[in-house]
Chain A
Amino acid sequence: MSIPETNQYYLRTYRQGDEIDLIFLFNKVYERFAGFVPRTLDYWRWCIQSRPNLGEEGIAVVTNANKIVGYAAVEKAGNILEFCYDPNYEGKTIVSMLLRWCIDYVRSQGGNSISLNAPTQDELVRQVCQELEFTEDSFERAVGTLFLRVLDLPKLLRKVVVEKKKVKEGFDETILINLRKVPPWYNDYVAIRIQDGKMAVLTEKIRTPTIKIDADISTISLCIFGSTQRLYGAIMKRRLKVRPFWKIPRAVKIFSLLQLKNPLYIPRADYG
């Protein structure tokens, strides 16, 4: 198969030893996203390298001055499992080279269609896809809806709290969240203490919280993974009750601190 060349960008297939750079690039490019499995050597070797219907000849790499600046892993059937490019380089050139190579490769392998999952915000990929006459669809319509279920809320909150280190000084509160409709194996409460600009999740039941919140586990999960509108909606519909009621603005502030705001990007490799 002919390998196209554009200026100082070169396209070649995978070579043994590339994986370290590919993994580094993937994790760097999608750093601000959530919803995928962070790439490790073990995971990548299993998920990409040893996957049936892929093979190392299905991995294209774009280099610039011997540095890997983009790559795509495509199955013979046409599913692009991983796709990323370094935005510090000429993204449009890299994306275009990779997608054109993928189309040629899938065609040569007898594939009938080609599909790519990309972050919705990525205008560059959208532009190149339009030029190459791809159509676009939402993930929900094309694949399905992402459903999740929190099994260990205190542990999740502890992880979130570690990430959200900064709380304004003087914003001291103790919050007790009473969970409604919990399964028998679930703790029916979780407490959060904000003191001296630090947030902590407590396992013991606070006797005199400054804010009491009543909600079911789905509502709390939606407040963490959803938007602020969902939080307001839950309060308006009384699915999330805050006592005393004048602490509602404070509760909203606390939930917005706990909210996970990273957009969710689901690469095909993680579910296909």
Chain B
Amino acid sequence: MDKNSVEQVVMPKNSHYSFRVLTSEDKIGAMKLLNDTFNISKEFLIWKYELNPDFDPSFAVVALNNGQVVGCAYWLPRDLKISNSTSVRAAQGADLAVHVDHRGHGVGKALIASENQVLENKNVVMSYGFIETELVKHIHGPQIGLVAVPTSTTVYRKYLNCSRIREKAALLNRIISFDEITRAKLANLRMRVSFRFMGVPPFIAKIDPNEICIEEDDLVSPDLKVEFDLPLSALTKSKKRTLILMKALLTRKIRISGSLENIIKLYGILKHLAILFT
């Protein structure tokens, strides 16, 4: 067996994929894959891995199909502080990517499962990473001993303009153009809603049957004026959204001024507008 090959326990024996520790000939393919998947610039990837004084290519694994790199997983060796004066050698899970044409074949799971072999005999005490909880359930199943640890870190954010909301509006407009349900909800609706959120400059949503347009402005007489003493993210969690809104209404953290008819209309399309706030 090739000294670089990574024996797989997850992939079926007749799999078309082979796995090995990153070699110099895989570098370009792996970089291209990361670039295509995450839209990370080549300059950033070179800095992150090749210029990193701690980077060790033997901490990366690639998945090959017909000699082409179709998946890769990188770990970064790090000293991680665990108490006042103690640090341990750790491996931080960095980038994991699978080519779009090869997803759903267990390549990602196999790459993660290769961690045991990759990190074995490397004097690494623990591995860690920042993962979306849903993703852990999906792809980290094969890993034994993965535990979630709460942090004491708060993220503060301030939007300097509404370009992000405008981008989301463009996405919503694309959805409106092909989704009949959303289009039906917006039919006969013509409203100017002024929004004020914490941490976001005030903006106007001009809602028309075929389009939603965002303008960074304070309209003198909007149809509805909505003021939130809540961050934009309060509206993103769909399961709790109604509860959060009700609580905020009762505690006057949301103040709405306008006709009741317009308020009901806005509530009716809130589910569709939620994409603006994600």
Q: Which residues of A contact B (CB under 8 A)?
A: 31-38, 42-43, 46, 50-53, 78, 103, 106-107, 111-122, 125-126, 129, 132-152, 155-156, 159-160, 162-163, 181-183, 185, 216-218, 221-222, 225-226, 260-266, 270-271
Contact = CB atoms under 8 A, between A and B. Distances in A.
A148 B130 contact: no
A271 B156 contact: no
Interface stretch (B25-33, B61-69, B116-124): B116-124
B101 interface: no
Contact of A263 (B47, B125, B152): B152
12 contacts: A43-B53, A117-B156, A134-B156, A134-B157, A149-B146, A152-B125, A185-B120, A263-B152, A264-B152, A265-B152, A270-B92, A271-B130
A183 B144 contact: yes
A103 B158 contact: yes
A237 B167 CA distance: 48
A217 B148 contact: no
Question: In the complex, which range does the number of interface residues on chain B fall in?
Answer: 35 or more
B198 A135 contact: yes
Interface string B82-109: 1111111000100000000000000000
B161 A112 contact: yes
Describe B's contact surface by its main secondary structure. mixed
Contacts of B246: none
Describe A's contact surface by its main secondary structure. mixed
Interface stretch (B10-18, B73-81, B178-186, B204-212): B73-81
Contacts of A115: 155-158
B231 interface: yes
Contacts of B82: 34, 159-160, 260, 262
A137 B149 contact: no
A134 B156 CA distance: 6
Nearest to A224: B82
A137 B231 contact: yes
Contact of B124 (A51, A125, A151): A151
Interface string B125-169: 111111111001000100111111111111111111101100000
B43 A52 contact: yes
A113 B160 contact: yes
Given A143-B155, A181-B144, A265-B152, A50 B47 contact: yes
B153 A141 contact: no
A8 B155 CA distance: 30
Given A150-B145, A226-B149, A117 B84 contact: no
Closest 3 CB pairs of A and B: A135-B231, A263-B152, A135-B199
B219 interface: no
A163 B144 CA distance: 27
